[in-house]
Amino acid sequence: MATKLKSKKKIDQKRERGGAEPKYYEVFARKDSHSDLSHVGSVEAPNDELAQVRAWYIYDQHKWREMCVVPLESIITVTEEGKSAKIKMG
């Protein structure tokens, strides 16, 4: 890096990102009792606790009635087999 930095952050990939490869969680939420549980987005987190909190603060556009996170690795594709993204944004 050409720009000199006094104290650059040193991120430990393995500890802070959950392994050699970053770990993702998919976020699902339900707006109210009349709404379906929908996929609302995705977060990167090294453990379940941070995934829960990060999802809560990033996808806070509604006062969700229900929210859950699912590790991306647990998702089994039906139509998207072999595609570069198992589950899409939005």
Minimum CB separation from other proteins for residue 7, in Å?
5
What is the closest distance, in whole angstroms, from the C-beta atom of residue 82 to other proteins in the complex? 9
In the complex, minimum distance from the CB of residue 27 to other proteins, in angstroms, rounded to a whole number: 10
* Nearest-angstrom CA–CA distance, 77 and 69: 17
Options 28-36, 63-71, 82-90: segment touching other proteins (CB under 8 A): 82-90
**Does 19 contact other proteins by CB under 8 A?**
no
- DSSP string for residues in 16-47: HHSSSS--EEEEEEE-STTSPPEEEEEEE-SS
Cα-to-chain-centroid distance, residue 41: 7
Q: Binding residue for other proteins (CB under 8 A) from 20, 33, 34, 57?
A: 57
* Residue of 8, 34, 63, 74 interacting with other proteins (CB under 8 A): 8
Q: Characterise 86 by phi-psi region: left (phi > 0), alpha (psi -120 to 50), beta (else).
A: alpha
